[in-house]
Amino acid sequence: MQGVRLLWGLVMVLLLAGCNSEVQSQEVSPPQRPAVSDTAAINQEIASSRQNAITRAVAAVSPAVVNVNVIEVRRVRDPMASFYDDPFFRNFLRRPRVREQQVESVGSGFIISPDGYVVTNDHVAGNATKIDVFLPDGQTLPAELVGSDAATDLALLKVEPEEALPYLAFDTTSTPIVGEWVIALGNPFGLFESAEPSVTVGVVSAKDRNLQSGRRGRLYRDMIQTDAAINRGNSGGPLVSATGEVIGVNTAIYSESGGSIGIGFAVPARKAFRIIEELRENGRVDRSYYTGLYLTTVTQRIANILELDRARGVLVRDIDPSSPADDAGLQAYDIIIGINGERIDTQDDYVARVYDYRPGDEIQMRVLRDGQTLTLPLRLGRQE
């Protein structure tokens, strides 16, 4: 009996040892590693996720974005000019109060044809005496100013390449969508020696923005607003959609410091394309239109006198006899409140709208007369 117990105890010891051995073998087994093919697939997935619509658009557009280096002559006031009124100092300071000084500045632009036409801003190259264009591939080419338009702040340059250049086309068929991704390319502040453009990304914040500008008669109308950073030196570069199409020309920013605060503006592609084509064909934009109208903005005082419900539009003060306005049937004291479906609230609105048309174009004038609203067709004449 005692032997049976001893044998049974020995069997139990052996069984427990086997169990412990199995547990230990499970605990010390090394962790399984993913197969090499699984790691490659993960890396490929990560790499693919980095290549998105933005990066593809930048790669496609960048070869046609250029830096524009200009030298212009500016008239600057002599800092000692205030002393010239004193006869004593005038005898010793015999030099002009205003001097001419050469100033070097930089901007951006983009190529729009394989034979070397380049778009930039008028405030970048409009008064230049010498222009050089730096291509992303390292080439530096001298450029000639074909023409510029101060009102829209656009300019067209021409370089003479030895071979066809990469170029961009204006998207004149679609309309920017508020909230869509956009890309601004250029050389901010002219900081970098590399000709490769810097890239900033944002969205279309708004459309049809109108800005006040007292500089050289600029009319910043119907602008695209974006929060993509646009700084000095970006001027003249393209504003591009996520599909790589040019939807605008970077032109202006709203900033008290001179740096971007996320409020930038671009000339829309349709307007830019039309102006650039005029510059290419004629070297200038023909705004020698004639209407024969003499106008003033309807103020609240004028509105009260004329018993209007509110101040809006421009008042026709007088009309030249046998002028386009006279032929169209406009009369003194008519109030123009619209042109071709666009609202006119002030004389600035009127000028900006008519600036979009050329001699010979017919425009539809919406006017208030004796409490009635009329639409009168007016064909623009040419200023003699």
Joined together, the tokens standing for residue 248 give 């605008």
Q: Which two tokens stand for residue 207?
A: 């459309």
d(CA 137, CA 164): 13
CA separation for the pair 378, 373 (Å, rounded): 16
* Active-site pick, 108, 122, 149, 153: 153
Measured over the CA atoms of residue 206, residue 208, residue 211 and residue 213, the dihedral's sign is positive
235 is catalytic: yes
pLDDT at 154 over 90: yes
Spatial neighbors of 262 by CB under 8 A, at least 6 apart, are: 202, 227, 229
Nearest one of 66, 71, 69, 107 to 234, comparing CA atoms: 107
Confidence grade of residue 47 (pLDDT, cut at 50, 70, 90): low
The one catalytic residue in 105, 108, 123, 356 is 123
Asked if residue 62 lies in contact with residue 136, where contact means CB atoms within 8 angstroms, the answer is yes
Q: Tell me, what amino acid is at 255?
A: S
Amino acid at 103: V
Q: What is the mean pLDDT of the chain?
A: 84
Known active-site residue 123: yes
Return the H-helix or E-strand segment holding 74.
strand 65-77
**49 catalytic, yes or no?**
no
Name which residue leads in pLDDT, 95 or 377.
377
Please, what are the domains in the chain?
62-159 (2.40.10.10), 181-282 (2.40.10.10), 289-382 (2.30.42.10)
Q: In this predicted model, what pLDDT tens digit does every residue of 327-360 receive, in sequence order?
A: 999 999 999 999 999 999 999 889 889 988 999 9
Neighbours of 362 (CB within 10 A): 12
The active-site residue, picked from 108, 148, 235, 260, is 235
Task: Using the predicted structure, report yes or no on whether residue 101 has a pLDDT greater than 90.
Answer: no
* DSSP-H helix ranges across the chain: 2-27, 36-50, 53-61, 87-92, 122-125, 269-282, 300-305, 324-328, 347-354
Least confident window among 121-130, 208-217, 335-344: 208-217
CB 182, CB 247: distance < 8 Å: yes
Cα→Cα distances 210→177, 232, 258, Å: 18, 20, 19
pTM comes to: 0.77
